[in-house]
Chains A and B, each alone.
Chain A
Amino acid sequence: MADYKAAPLASLPKTLDPNEYFNLSPEHRRAEEARAAVRANLKRQYQVQLNNPHRKELVDDPALTRWVYARANPYPHFRATKKTSLMGAMFGVFPLFFFYYVFKTDRDRKEEQIKAGTLVRKFNLTS
């Protein structure tokens, strides 16, 4: 595994270039070579699937599947922390009471004006 060379679709990473890093231990070098081999294999698999002339469906990406599933199912991992409780209160509870107060006072004021006959209706919605 010591002479790992660059391939057309898998470039040699900097950590494996002997001219760049001369103070790394041989174990570190071997670990880097193993990782580079895995990465190159994944790239090769993707390119084989991408350039297959008989392929009719999408290339399957398991990382994307995991990410989409995680975005769609946050509920089992929900924990009530200070931050999440604050967010829930700010966006879910407080606005309801705030707007109830705003609309109720505005409407009561308007209803009193209507009953007293003092409401000035400048624009008619229906003629």
Chain B
Amino acid sequence: MLMVLFPTVMLLPTIWLSPSTQLWTSALAYSVAIALISLSWLCFPMETGWSSVNTFIATDPLSTPLLVLTCWLLPLMILASQNHMAEEPINRQRTYISLLISLQIFLILAFGATEMIMFYIMFEATLIPTLIIITRWGNQTERLNAGVYFLFYTLAGSLPLLVALLLLQNSTGSLSFLTTQLFPPLQLHTEASKFWWAGCMLAFLVKMPLYGAHLWLPKAHVEAPIAGSMILAAVLLKLGGYGMMRIIIILDPLTKQLSYPFIILALWGVVMTGSICLRQTDLKSLIAYSSVSHMGLVAAGILIQTPWGFTGALILMIAHGLTSSALFCLANTNYERTHSRTMLLARGLQMVLPLLATWWFMFTLANLALPPLPNLMGELMIITSLFNWSNWTLLLTGAGTLITASYSLHMFLTTQRGPTTSPILAIEPTHTREHLLMTLHLLPLLLLIFKPTLIWGWAL
């Protein structure tokens, strides 16, 4: 664990002391090295479940896939930001990369935390670099509104969690994940316990986001620059899922009655946000709403507390992280050329940029959960376990799958196929950097087809 944490912290002085010609190259090279070191976490030799244990941070099969995803994403974010940051003064470029690295440090500490208060502090700490990235480097005036929505929705959801954790510490004496899983069941019979349960869950449900509290997500994703969108879609949403999976272990048996409204909101959200995707004019907004849709499935999978539900949720989180981040990178290639996110302006791109069309095709297919990609495995496990929980959920999940397929195809056909708009012809060709970015997104996804046990957590 420290093997990855110390180099990441040391990246900060590296960025500030590198000469300006080598800034992006050294940032990229060192973050790739860190990402490759982080792959060593993927072997789980310990029978107890927890590996790389020290007093404060440890990894287990639940947090390891998310940690590796976080470390993998940093070089991808640096690669994606290189173009639009090129015109800024050198110190602002350094600040931008430092914000990305500090986000990385907080995320590693959050996913590796063994103590719930440390997880909470890191959960909140990730908000600040993300807020600065969105409000300072976003491209439209709406970015201020987006930053406010993002910050206050997440804060308002997570302050009850602080109170709930302190109450838990008072009553049980320890908040370490290693020991809470071994507690005797908590005595949760009063009315106040229901509020305590809601306090524990609300922060993560807002972060995931759940359908009723999802308003911050389209704003934040659309207004953020590309690295902000990538880290938001790929990792920050998964913080909510990870927190829910950790804390739901001690919330039994209240969860069986109290989770119904949230399961229903999550499933109805899959259908509703999928339908909204079909009406979107803004490309990034479409991808953001598709994130809400997939995360609704994840939330429902976690709330029913079955082994397949947890496994499916974790696999879908990892696969969706890679797919969504790649789709935002593709939308960014459009944006860098036309400086507009309107889908109607950039149609028929297959004629103009045919190699990029291949990437669009592959990631559209990943988004609609094509077999044998892990997206399908995650979705299928969640849908099956939901069906086992109650046969009627199939109405919502089946409709959700249909709608996901239709908006993914709508996105692909509008941007790639059809007549090319005549003003489009004067755009620059695809850079090798962009092809490399897409390859690095697709490679883990393809490799995970062959060994999904790496990302399916401790439930199976």
Contacts of A67 in B (CB 8 A): 281
Q: A56-B426, A106-B391 are in contact. Are A126 and B338 (CB under 8 A)?
A: no
Which of B30-38, B258-266, B368-376 binds A? B258-266
CB-contacts of A51-100 with B (<8 A): 55-59, 64, 67-68, 71-72, 91, 95-96, 99-100
Could you tell me if A125 and B308 are in contact, using CB atoms closer than 8 angstroms?
Answer: yes
Query: Which of A55, A72, A102 contacts B281 (CB under 8 A)?
Result: A72
How far is A50 from B425 in the complex, measured between Cα atoms in Å?
10
B183 within 8 A of partner (CB): no
A107 within 8 A of partner (CB): yes
- Count of interface residues, chain A, beta-carbon cutoff 8 Å: 24
Which of B55-63, B173-181, B319-327, B340-348 binds A? B340-348
Could you tell me if B338 and A100 are in contact, using CB atoms closer than 8 angstroms?
Answer: no
A54 to nearest B CB, angstroms?
A: 9
Could you tell me if A58 and B390 are in contact, using CB atoms closer than 8 angstroms?
Answer: no
- Count of interface residues, chain B, beta-carbon cutoff 8 Å: 34
Q: A56-B426, A99-B396 are in contact. Are A126 and B308 (CB under 8 A)?
A: yes
Minimum CB distance partner of B267 in chain A: A99
A43 within 8 A of partner (CB): no
Minimum CB distance partner of B280 in chain A: A71
A104 within 8 A of partner (CB): yes
A103 within 8 A of partner (CB): yes
A30 within 8 A of partner (CB): no
A110 within 8 A of partner (CB): yes
Q: A50-B423, A106-B391, A125-B385 are in contact. Are A100 and B460 (CB under 8 A)?
A: no
Q: A57-B339, A58-B339, A126-B307 are in contact. Are A100 and B261 (CB under 8 A)?
A: yes
How far is A72 from B222 in the complex, measured between Cα atoms in Å?
12
Could you tell me if A107 and B307 are in contact, using CB atoms closer than 8 angstroms?
Answer: no
The contact string, 1 if C-beta is below 8 Å from chain A, for chain B 262-293, is 01110110001000000001100100000000
How far is A56 from B389 in the complex, measured between Cα atoms in Å?
56
Contacts of A96 in B (CB 8 A): 261, 264-265, 268
Could you tell me if A68 and B282 are in contact, using CB atoms closer than 8 angstroms?
Answer: yes
CB-contacts of A15-51 with B (<8 A): 50
B93 within 8 A of partner (CB): no
B383 to nearest A CB, angstroms?
A: 12
Could you tell me if B342 and A64 are in contact, using CB atoms closer than 8 angstroms?
Answer: yes
B252 to nearest A CB, angstroms?
A: 15
Task: Show 23 residue pairs from A and B whose CB-CB distance is below 8 angstroms, ordered by the A residue.
Answer: A58-B340, A58-B423, A58-B424, A64-B345, A67-B281, A68-B282, A71-B281, A72-B282, A95-B268, A96-B264, A96-B268, A99-B264, A99-B267, A99-B268, A100-B264, A102-B390, A103-B260, A103-B390, A103-B392, A106-B391, A125-B306, A125-B384, A125-B385
List 7 tightest A-B contacts by C-beta distance, closest first. Answer: A59-B423, A106-B390, A99-B264, A58-B423, A71-B281, A103-B390, A102-B392
Interface residues of B (CB under 8 A from A): 260-261, 263-265, 267-268, 272, 281-282, 285, 306-308, 338-340, 342, 344-345, 384-385, 388-393, 396, 422-424, 426, 460
Please give 19 more A-B residue pairs, beta carbons under 8 A apart, in addition to A64-B342, A99-B268, A103-B392. A57-B339, A58-B345, A64-B344, A68-B342, A72-B281, A72-B282, A72-B285, A91-B272, A99-B264, A99-B392, A99-B396, A100-B260, A100-B264, A102-B392, A104-B260, A106-B392, A125-B308, A125-B384, A126-B307
